[in-house]
Each structure stands twice: as structure tokens, then as C-alpha cells.
Amino acid sequence: MSKISKESTGAKKKKIIQHAFDLFAEKGYSETSIDDIVKASGVSKGGIYYYFNSKEEIFLEIAKNRLEERRDLIKNIPNTVSNREKLINYIHWTLTGLFEEKIQKMSRFTFEFWSVLARNPNMSDKAKERYKLFYDDLAEILQQGIDCGEFEKDIDISSMVYIILSTMDGIGYMNSVMKITITHDVVENYIDIILRKISKGD
């Protein structure tokens, strides 16, 4: 395949994903059809099925991309930054991003993702995989913080990771779905609560 052909193929697939993402975030998974994606993207039905076998496959591809974007945030934090700052940056980026329309759409998509998985037991393994990756990333920061003396030794890492992830998802739900305004003060207070619990000497 020529370079131009590869670029064209990549652009078309990206176009399908972007328009499908918008539809899933706005209308929901069940209310979005392949025909809706055809109309929004301008790609023929045959073209869509060239890249994806089903609507479910498109949905899971979007979820995978979202997961990779969020994990890249942690991976791209310089090693010279303290574990305390890594945690602050991760939470701050995730929650202040809710002030942007793009991130609000991502949050709405995330809740639609969980809703769809709850109704489709066969897809539950995808949810477990997603949680496990986020868990591992945050658990590593907490463990490194304990090892170097930044965080208290008696932290229950499993419980703390669950609290951080579930609370951030809850804040995202309040903002993106229930339309309750989340301010910078809310974000800073949340970070302060977490740090008071885990930081050594606080």
C-alpha cells in the first residue's frame, strides 16, 4: 500500500471514529445506528464495515483510544517529578479537563461505556481490563511514593486507588451528565483531601 493510500485509510478511519464518538456521547450507544454514523461521517456503509465489523467494535475502539490518552498522561510526566506531584498532575488534568467541551464529551462517553457494559455481560471483561490498567498506573505512583518516604507506609493502596478513580468518575458524572458546575475550588479541595490522607507528616 502506498504512503498516500495509507494516509487516506488512516484519515478515513479516524473520521469514522470521531463522528461515532460524537454520536455515542450525544445520543447514547443504543440510539446510535450504523446509518447514523454513515450520515454523520460521510463514509459509506461498506466503507465503515471495511474498517469495523460492527457498531460494538467501533464503540470499543473509541473506549480503547480514550484509555490510552488518559494513561499517556501518567507516562509523559517526567521522572524528575515527585510522586506527590505526579498524583496531583493526574487528578488535576482529569478534573480540570471537565471545563472543556471535548473532555465533557469524553465523560459522557465514559458513562455510556459503563452503562452499555452493565447491560452486556459478554463485554464485562472490557470493563475489568480498563479498571486494571488505571489501577496499575495509580498503584505504581502510590507504591513509589511509599518507598521513597513521600506517602504513609500504612496506606491501603487498593482502597485508595478505588476511592480516587470512583470519585473522579463521580465528579465527571455530576458535571457532564447532571450539568452541575464543577469549579476549580472543587478540584483543589478534592486534591487536598487525598493528599491529607496519604502524605507523610500531613
Secondary structure, 3-state, the chain: CCHHHHHHHHHHHHHHHHHHHHHHHHHCCCCCCHHHHHHHHCCCHHHHHHHCCCHHHHHHHHHHHHHHHHHHHHHCCCCCCCHHHHHHHHHHHHHHHHHCHHHHHHHHHHHHHHHHHHHCHHHHHHHHHHHHHHHHHHHHHHHHHHHCCCECCCCCHHHHHHHHHHHHHHHHHHHHCCCCCCCHHHHHHHHHHHHHHHECCC
- With pLDDT > 70 as the criterion, what percentage of the chain qualifies? 89
pLDDT mean over 179-201 = 87
Q: Give the residue, 13 or 109, on which the prediction is more confident.
A: 13
pLDDT mean over 148-158 = 93
pTM: 0.72
Q: Read off the pLDDT band of 159 (50, 70, 90).
A: very high
The x, y and z cell numbers of residue 69, run together, are: 490518552
pLDDT at 4: 39
Does pLDDT of 122 surpass 50?
yes
Does pLDDT of 3 surpass 60?
no
Does pLDDT of 123 surpass 90?
no
pLDDT at 165: 87
Residue 170 CB partners (closer than 8 Å, separation 6+): none
* Domains assigned to the chain: 1-52 (1.10.10.60), 63-198 (1.10.357.10)
